[in-house]
Structure 1
Amino acid sequence: MDFKSSDTLTSGAITGPRAQDVLPATATAAVKVVIVGGFGVGKTTMVGSVSEIRPLTTEETMTQAGIGVDDNYGSETKTATTVAMDFGRISISDELVLYLFGTPGQERFWFLWNGLFEGALGAVVLIDTRRLQVSFDVIGRLEEKGVPFIIAVNDFPDAPRHPMDALRRALDLEQGVPIVHCDARHRASSRDTLMTLMRYLHSLAVAKA
């Protein structure tokens, strides 16, 4: 498993950046990308696995207050949850850097999404095929905001696998929206997912030119 340790945002003293966290001097362009999806689909895991810096998280311990409010089907062993955002960074090339923002999954925190979507060039929608219905509102909000996105099926061991055409119909996606399988725990798989998004965004830009 490639998931890195993370720093949780606290009110404590702020220390200086580590050498490996400093933005490369060759970087000439930065792009904001959001990782979005329902509760427990793997957003924090993806940001943590692929980030070249120590990711920042805003996770809090889950309490009794969430019972009956948060749908934790398939994530019954989950003990912490994102309440604001996750943040990471990955260099796609010497010049291009992606800033990754993971959104909170619980519907009661969705009011934070509007700010996270601002300035985003594109999005990865992580889905869990055991709970496809939680993706409908996520996709609808991205479409309302005009944020291009791809679908990444996070392959949980006990999740059913469906043909791509069936998934496309179930999610009511346009034919051109890419759907990929991924394992959010592993850096290579998460990076490949982000590269699919970047190729899709490039194809959209070329089509508009």
Structure 2
Amino acid sequence: MVFADSAESAPAADRYLPDSVRRAVKVLVVGAFGVGKTTLVGSVSEIEPLRTEEALTEAGVGVDDLTGIDGKRMTTVAMDFGRLTLNSQLVMYVFGTPGQQRFWELWEGLAEGALGALAVVDTRRLADSFEVLAQLELRGLPFAVAVNQFPDSAVYATEELRGALDLTEDTPVVTFDARDRASSMDALVTLVEYISGPAHPQGVPAPAAAPG
């Protein structure tokens, strides 16, 4: 599978897909509260991303844990949405899910038709990711883990993270910066390559026949 490089996939003003596109994949970006899901979707989307953010209020005090993310002022309450053209024939639709457990019922609709998920984690609050990964396993959704490298995050070896998160040997683990488009795109490409591999026979849909 060939993917366009980040220069070829720079954000474009044109909201319409080129006629050459023959395939589309839907993936989720999941993770605990405040790990950088909205930032990732915004950094990779070639169209103006759809965001459903609301300001954090006193009602969330004691419910939303702001440890390590004291400056956070907004939170996603429904979804984020963006689009990324990977090459001339393949486009990815990216749906970011809310992080808080009280919004997890929304996952049912967002997960429908998704081929896989990119699970974003923050090593400063690694335990917050356990229930998110459990939800993915419960739904049987293949996933890759993307460690968002914050400025004050400690750096861990891949095998340390794999053990801490109790991941299988074949689950991809990558480190990235959600603010950086190329880095975020690489993380998503890792997911697509994983779900296109032999462990997942459903893979990426075959190209539709060209109109005749």
User: Is 1:36 the counterpart of 2:22 in the alignment?
Assistant: no
Deviation of residue 206 (structure 1)?
6.9
Q: Report what 1:100 is aligned to.
A: 94
- Summarize deviations over 1:119-169 as a string: whole Å, max 9, x none: 110110000001111111111111111111000000001111111111111
Deviation of residue 204 (structure 1)?
3.3
- Summarize deviations over 1:187-208 as a string: whole Å, max 9, x none: 0001111111111111135768
Q: Name the Cα RMSD after superposition.
A: 1.6
Asked if 1 retains the 8 angstrom alpha-carbon contact of 2:13 and 2:47, the reply is no
Give 5+ residue unaligned stretches, structure 1.
Answer: 1-17
For residues 135 and 206 of structure 1, do their structure 2 counterparts lie closer, same or farther at Cα, with a shift above 3 Å needed?
closer
Q: Report what 1:63 is aligned to.
A: 57
**Which residue, 116, 126, 131 being the options, matches 1:137?**
131
Give aligned-pair identity as a percent: 56
**Matched positions, count:** 192
For residues 206 and 149 of structure 1, do their structure 2 counterparts lie closer, same or farther at Cα, with a shift above 3 Å needed?
closer
**Which residue, 115, 125, 130 being the options, matches 2:109?**
115
For residues 206 and 75 of structure 1, do their structure 2 counterparts lie closer, same or farther at Cα, with a shift above 3 Å needed?
closer
Q: Counterparts of 1:207 and 1:110 in 2: how far apart (Å)? A: 27
For residues 207 and 27 of structure 1, do their structure 2 counterparts lie closer, same or farther at Cα, with a shift above 3 Å needed?
closer
User: Is 1:83 the counterpart of 2:72 in the alignment?
Assistant: no
Q: Report what 1:201 is aligned to.
A: 195
Q: Counterparts of 1:37 and 1:195 in 2: how far apart (Å)? A: 18
User: Is 1:163 the counterpart of 2:157 in the alignment?
Assistant: yes
User: Is 1:148 the counterpart of 2:146 in the alignment?
Assistant: no
Q: Report what 2:166 is aligned to.
A: 172
Letter in 1 for 2:108: N
Q: Report what 1:14 is aligned to.
A: none
Q: Counterparts of 1:145 and 1:106 in 2: how far apart (Å)? A: 18
Length-normalised TM-score, structure 2: 0.87
For residues 207 and 101 of structure 1, do their structure 2 counterparts lie closer, same or farther at Cα, with a shift above 3 Å needed?
closer
Q: Relative to total residues, which structure has the larger helix share, 1 or 2?
A: 1
Length-normalised TM-score, structure 1: 0.88
* Higher alpha-carbon deviation: 31-40 or 197-206: 197-206
Q: Counterparts of 1:50 and 1:87 in 2: how far apart (Å)? A: 10
